[in-house]
A and B are shown apart, each in its own frame.
Chain A
Amino acid sequence: MSVLVYAEHDNHQLKSETAKLVNAASKIGGDIHVLVAGSGCEALAQAAAKIAGVAKVLLVDNEHFSHQLAENTADLLVEMGKDYSHLMASASTTGKNFMPRVAALLDVAQLSDVIDIISADTFVRPIYAGNAIATVQSQDTIKVMTVRASAFDASPESGDAAVATLALGGAAKGAQFVAEELTESARPELGAAEVIISGGRGMQNGENFALLEGIADKLGAAIGASRAAVDAGFVPNDMQVGQTGKIVAPQLYIAVGISGAIQHLAGMKDSKVIVAINKDEEAPIFQVADYGLVGDLFEILPELEKSL
């Protein structure tokens, strides 16, 4: 048995998901190899080599992978994947983009959003926005899956694996990168933050998100949002938490002016401690909140910032 883990990165930084995936892979058993595929990403391969439990890091570093497009990333994994019993990527927009392609080309099923590993062939994954949890068994020869990183702790940084450079891969067929518009932020990423404060429709507009920023600064928190806040154009799409946005599980999640629709709860209900601030005491968010404060957010937030 052997597991190939696709390293989550942006060519500059190895994302915290990678060490969490390695920990998940260790529950399967067998050798763990990490693939770093990108452009100008050699330093990241060195970083991956330090993750405890990694037997080998495979580096594919060429311009074809600078944007990790699905078409050629999938072809690369299909080429390499035949030597492994398990292929694993993060359930990020990158992993979800190419992994189903890999599975289809290998003629096997793909398991999405794995949150627990029972054995080498039995896995646990949420369905229906996390309102049901399925335990599934796969008899496929190669098990291809995306893993929800927030469900696993990170493997420590005590490893010392060898890095092998591979001359593999080609251009994406029929697809070209055109542009990207990435949100710049000095705050932690939603997936890595210990504390998250999220705003919903109750924030009324984008400017009012400044009320969350002061608190986020004091708590070292990331800022998230509900779909309603994103749809209304208050904040960009990458801040959406929920069934179809980002799934997070921080130590502390503060929901402000968010009603608690099942699709939002799906993205944050595994947080350790949940705080809800809402003027409607009947709001469903209070059913999952450890601490609920009923009141007007425009009065509460400035007071909260002052008292931290």
Chain B
Amino acid sequence: MKILVPVKRAIDYNVKVRVKADNSGVDLTNAKMAINPFCEIAVEEAVRLKEQGIAEEVVVVSVGDKSCQEQIRTALALGADRGIQIDTEEKLESLQIAKLLAKLVEKESPGLVILGKQSIDSDNNQTGQMLAALTGMPQGTFASKVEVSENSVKVTREVDGGLQTVALDLPAVVTTDLRLNEPRYASLPNIMKAKRKPLEVIPAADFGVDLTSKVTVLKVTAPAQRAGGVKVASVAELVDKLKNEAKVIS
């Protein structure tokens, strides 16, 4: 079985973002970029399935300009076999990404597609579900456990009330949650090896997909800041403030 893992280049999760003064977006100049944490978990899961002999090949794909090759190389260093960059300068929305991925699924025919459940920049949590819809595949979102058997995959999902397990016919789409696995660190020899693994660049235009979106961002602003609070010296003072000043307990 072949596993396709779409990954996204996103701001490093430790960076605190600033909104641009003209409210046109977030200032990413010189910001540290990384593979989106949930995508990294997806790569790790696919590589483990290969190590267990369940998958034969792990293909990573990223949609973006040349800079996202860096994240594809990261995934290759973690153990993926080959990379594909779908080349575009445009900032695409989830639906357009899903349409491109759906075309790639047609071409590559993976048995399983594993993606991160959300990217920590746009926080959309959409691409996997949209890809499943467009390809007619069943989906197992927010996965904390994935068990692949002959023709199906059992996915344990983190849901608001606890855990839910579903069984999906293959091919299927799985999106990862935080507790699915802990990604490994790439070793230096593997980073070197990754440089020689194949990375194909396909112009987005080659897929013949309409990439326009009907959603426009009018402005991006900073969130309301909380007024600074006070330190209290004792439990008695805390309880008094909560009762008599904030009036949130009685």
Contact = CB atoms under 8 A, between A and B. Distances in A.
**A-B complex is real:** yes
Interface of A: 10, 67, 69-71, 74, 92-94, 96-105, 107-113, 122, 126-140, 172-183, 191, 195, 219, 227, 230-231, 236-238, 243-244, 246, 251-252, 262-263, 269, 272-275, 281, 286-294, 300, 303-304, 307-308
Given A263-B13, A291-B238, A174 B162 contact: no
B249 interface: yes
- Contact count band on B: 35 or more
Contacts, number: 260
B37 to A, nearest CB: 9
A94 to B, nearest CB: 7
Contacts of B94: 100, 109-110
Contact of A140 (B125, B144, B169, B214): B214
Given A93-B160, A139-B214, A273 B120 contact: no
A290 B230 contact: yes
A286 B123 CA distance: 25
A174 B138 contact: yes
Contacts of B122: 127
Contacts of A112: 123-126
A109 B167 contact: no
B159 interface: yes
B123 A179 contact: no
Contact of B215 (A109, A175, A231): A109
Interface string B106-137: 00000000000110111111111111111011
B26 A128 contact: yes
A292 B242 CA distance: 12
Contacts of A137: 215-216, 218
B179 interface: yes
A236 B163 CA distance: 9
Contacts of B117: 244
A109 B214 contact: yes
B21 to A, nearest CB: 13
A113 B242 CA distance: 31
A112 B125 CA distance: 8
Contacts of B133: 74, 100-102, 104-105
Nearest to A265: B226
Contact of B248 (A92, A272, A292): A272
Contact of A290 (B19, B128, B246): B246
B223 A172 contact: no
Given A175-B168, A273-B246, A308-B239, 14 more contacts: A10-B161, A93-B159, A100-B126, A105-B133, A110-B124, A122-B218, A128-B11, A131-B16, A133-B221, A181-B162, A274-B226, A291-B246, A294-B231, A307-B235
- Most chain A beta carbons < 10 A, residue from B19, B121, B166, B218: B166
A293 B137 contact: no
Contact of A181 (B132, B163, B166, B239): B163
A245 B132 CA distance: 23
Nearest to A179: B165
Contact of B141 (A97, A107, A178, A304): A97
A173 B223 contact: no
30 contacts: A67-B164, A70-B129, A70-B132, A100-B126, A103-B126, A104-B133, A111-B215, A129-B120, A129-B123, A131-B223, A132-B25, A132-B221, A132-B222, A136-B215, A138-B215, A140-B214, A174-B138, A175-B168, A176-B167, A178-B166, A179-B164, A180-B163, A181-B162, A182-B163, A275-B242, A286-B231, A291-B231, A292-B232, A303-B235, A307-B236
Contacts of B223: 126, 130-133, 269
